[in-house]
């Protein structure tokens, strides 16, 4: 096959003396035996997306390895030195259970320390949100966590945080990337560790974090009464293996049931096809444990402990998986209700959601008189809003449909441990009314409207797949429909051009968001369709939302089916498959 000359030249650089013998031999074997793999390994450089640097582990510029981690860390180092010229620079580093996570964390620590930066390196795996907390607690200028979140086992990643505890956003993300691009070879990277600049940290910071979580309790009376609520918890082999149960117990819940086979950190995730709590199969063992123990609630977190999936009981005593929009709605409704009942509203409270997260949250916020801000996909954008309002307004909670939520402002990323604690508190509150969380969800739909959501992800790997995804987005932009399934399209919002167009009269408005390759159709019946390429995976994602009226809770299943059919008709007409 013919491979682009630029790709060939890039790959040849990895045959140089700056790379170890194993790397050189592997690249040579690709030249000799597999040009397809060579192209995929070198056709691009890993870049920061919604979740930072993420890719398959292996050799090449499009892979996670010692050299891409080292070059990224050197680029970050150079930017930190330019940004904080008169300060002692401190960086915290955490890592999850994935294969080589501890190794990549050590590489990052070595490079930073070699460049005169003080490093706080965790002694063993820790959840991502703890890293966010520690940055603020130790007054660091930056932080790094080695994780690929819920991706398959062959992946790893590298998230960078700024001094506010949030992931990099503009201009810092692009500036770091530019600094990395300025590093022309691995010889520009200082890998020579300075042990005097590395401080190993551990349980003492865990305890500070857990104490802080306890301050979030709103219903101590309900927690005390239902402290024996049966909660099945699984870390799915990940980083919440210790802090998940400890957090729940510290919060006041005493009956935590573990899934023994998944309570062992393991980057191969031997008990699941995918460690993604969005997928019911990932919580299958936890569900079986719940059935054995007649548990009230099931919660499972992803490998780095920032997202959580939950299972609750319905009116028939059957276990039901909730999606991310439903859990976010329940969590935020509970908080708003408690603020109202306890007269905690001062008039400056707000919540945040992403543009692909259910508009039910907007409706609830409006009803309770609370501002609701929308951001692009990725919790880093939520953190940016929190930073903007810090000291002026009170952040209650934030959430996104991809199972990530945050309560309180001392962490600046989605936090599965905090979420588990507050979800359990909400379950105890529901139980005090002789209800399950599922029944509370029915109450919400009856009061604010029934929102049904569906996500379709289409995977297209490699250079060819990347081009196909871009073409799909181009096609939707150039052939925007005036109606879908007989329903008029009212608005088209293009976050690439930052324009919102009203189809009826052709009027356009500016969109106040960072530029992003996202396209959104707003329909006259309240339905919404959003399409965007993933920033962390070789996928294009389509988000569908349909709105209906639930006249009474007993009509739940009929209304749900009607909305589901509407979404399926829209999917079919748009030929998404």
- Burial environment of residue 496 by CB neighbours within 10 A (0 to 12, 13 to 18, 19 or more): middle
| Same domain, yes or no: 306 and 402 | yes
Kindly state whether residue 22 falls inside one of the protein's structural domains: no
| Same domain, yes or no: 68 and 149 | yes
| Same domain, yes or no: 86 and 161 | yes
Kindly state whether residue 58 falls inside one of the protein's structural domains: yes
SS3 state at 531: strand
- Catalytic, out of 101, 132, 142, 149: 149
Who contacts 113 (Cβ-Cβ below 8 Å, separation ≥6)? 119, 193, 194, 195, 196, 197, 198
| Same domain, yes or no: 464 and 509 | yes
| Same domain, yes or no: 138 and 111 | yes
Residue 295: which of 443, 431, 403, 417 has the closest Cα?
431
In the prediction, which pLDDT does 538 show?
85
Residue 481: which of 436, 418, 536, 523 has the closest Cα?
523
Out of 410, 433, 448, a domain closes at: 448
Q: What is the CATH number of the domain that holds 474?
A: 3.30.310
Kindly state whether residue 473 falls inside one of the protein's structural domains: yes
Kindly state whether residue 256 falls inside one of the protein's structural domains: yes
Read off the pLDDT band of 128 (50, 70, 90). Answer: very high
% residues pLDDT > 70 (the chain): 99
What is the domain count for the chain?
3
In the prediction, which pLDDT does 48 show?
66
**Mean pLDDT, rounded, for 415-438:** 97
Q: What is the CATH number of the domain that holds 172?
A: 3.40.120.10
pTM: 0.94
In our burial notation (b when 16+ CB lie closer than 10 A, e otherwise), range 505-539 reads eeeeeebeeeebbbbbbbbeeebbbbbbbbbbbbb
Could you identify the residue written with the tokens 């007649």?
Answer: 294
| Same domain, yes or no: 333 and 436 | yes
CA atoms in the 13 A half-sphere facing the CB of 226: 21
| Same domain, yes or no: 444 and 533 | no
Residue 354 bridge partners (DSSP):
375
Read off the pLDDT band of 51 (50, 70, 90). Answer: low
| Chain segment 260-272, per-residue pLDDT in tens | 999 999 999 999 9
Out of 145, 168, 201, a domain closes at: 201
Residue 53 bridge partners (DSSP):
158
Per-chain mean pLDDT for the chain:
95
SS3 state at 204: helix
Kindly state whether residue 149 falls inside one of the protein's structural domains: yes
Out of 148, 173, 201, a domain closes at: 201
Full DSSP string of 100-152? THHHHHHHHHHHHHHTT-EEEEESS---HHHHHHHHHHTT-SEEEEE--TTS-
Kindly state whether residue 515 falls inside one of the protein's structural domains: yes
Q: Is the preceding omega at residue 211 within 30 degrees of 0, hence cis?
A: no
Kindly state whether residue 39 falls inside one of the protein's structural domains: no
**Mean pLDDT, rounded, for 483-495:** 96
| Same domain, yes or no: 425 and 331 | yes
Is 445:419 a contact under the CB 8 Å cutoff? no
| Same domain, yes or no: 367 and 420 | yes
Is 118:199 a contact under the CB 8 Å cutoff? yes
| Same domain, yes or no: 376 and 413 | yes
Terminal Cα distance for the chain, rounded = 29
| Same domain, yes or no: 89 and 141 | yes
**Mean pLDDT, rounded, for 61-73:** 94
In which domain, by residue range, is 174 found? 44-201
| Same domain, yes or no: 337 and 471 | no
Kindly state whether residue 20 falls inside one of the protein's structural domains: no
Q: Residue 538 is encoded by which pair of tokens?
A: 């070789």
pLDDT at 534 over 90: no
Task: Tell me whether residue 478 is one of the annotated catalytic residues.
Answer: no
């Amino acid at each position: 096959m013919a491979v682009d000359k630029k790709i060939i030249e890039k790959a040849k650089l990895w045959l140089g003396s700056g790379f170890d013998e194993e790397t050189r031999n592997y690249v040579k074997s690709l030249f000799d035996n597999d040009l397809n793999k060579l192209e995929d390994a070198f056709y691009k450089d890993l870049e920061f997306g919604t979740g930072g640097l993420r890719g398959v582990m292996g050799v090449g510029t499009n892979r996670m390895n010692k050299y891409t981690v080292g070059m990224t860390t050197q680029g970050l180092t150079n930017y930190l030195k330019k940004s904080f010229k008169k300060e002692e620079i401190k960086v915290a580093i955490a890592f999850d259970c994935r294969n080589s996570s501890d190794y990549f964390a050590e590489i990052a620590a070595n490079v930073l320390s070699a460049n005169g930066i003080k490093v706080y390196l965790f002694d063993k795996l820790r959840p991502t949100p703890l890293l966010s907390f520690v940055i603020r607690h130790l007054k660091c200028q930056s932080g790094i966590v080695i994780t690929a979140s819920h991706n398959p086992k062959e992946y790893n990643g590298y998230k960078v945080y700024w001094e506010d505890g949030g992931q990099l956003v503009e201009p810092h993300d692009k500036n770091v990337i530019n600094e990395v691009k300025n590093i022309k070879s691995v010889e520009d990277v200082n890998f020579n560790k300075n042990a005097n600049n590395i401080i190993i940290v551990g349980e003492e910071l865990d305890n500070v974090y857990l104490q802080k979580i306890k301050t979030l309790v709103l219903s101590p009376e309900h927690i005390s009464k239902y402290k024996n609520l049966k909660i099945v918890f699984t870390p799915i082999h990940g980083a919440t293996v210790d802090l998940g149960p400890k957090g729940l117990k510290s919060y006041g819940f005493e009956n935590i049931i573990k899934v023994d086979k998944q309570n062992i950190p393991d980057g191969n995730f031997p008990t699941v096809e995918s460690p993604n709590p969005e997928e019911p199969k990932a919580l299958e063992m936890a569900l079986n444990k719940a059935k054995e123990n007649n548990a009230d609630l099931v919660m499972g977190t992803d490998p780095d402990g920032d997202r959580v999936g939950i299972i609750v009981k319905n009116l028939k005593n059957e276990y039901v998986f909730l999606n991310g929009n439903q859990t976010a709605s329940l969590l935020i409704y509970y908080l708003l209700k408690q603020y109202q009942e306890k007269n905690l509203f001062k008039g400056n409270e707000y919540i945040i959601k992403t543009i692909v997260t259910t508009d039910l949250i907007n409706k609830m916020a409006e009803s309770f008189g609370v501002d609701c801000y929308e951001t692009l996909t990725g919790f880093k954008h939520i953190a940016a809003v929190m930073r903007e309002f810090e000291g002026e307004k009170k952040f209650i909670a934030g959430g996104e449909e991809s199972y990530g939520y945050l309560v309180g402002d001392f962490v600046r990323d989605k936090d599965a441990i905090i979420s588990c604690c507050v979800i359990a508190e909400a379950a105890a509150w529901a139980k005090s009314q002789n209800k399950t969380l599922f029944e509370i969800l029915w109450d919400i739909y009856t009061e604010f409207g029934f929102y049904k959501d569906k996500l379709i992800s289409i995977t297209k790997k490699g250079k060819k797949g990347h081009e196909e995804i871009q073409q799909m987005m181009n096609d939707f932009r150039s052939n925007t429909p005036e109606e879908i399934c007989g329903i008029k399209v009212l608005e088209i919002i293009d976050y690439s051009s930052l324009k919102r167009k009203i189809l009826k009269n052709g009027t356009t408005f500016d969109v106040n968001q960072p530029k992003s390759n996202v396209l959104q159709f707003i329909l006259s019946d309240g339905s919404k369709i959003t399409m965007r390429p993933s920033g962390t995976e070789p996928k294009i994602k389509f988000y569908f939302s349909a709105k209906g009226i639930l006249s009474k809770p007993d009509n739940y299943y009929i209304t749900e089916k009607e909305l589901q059919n509407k979404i399926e008709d829209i999917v079919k007409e748009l030929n998404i498959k």
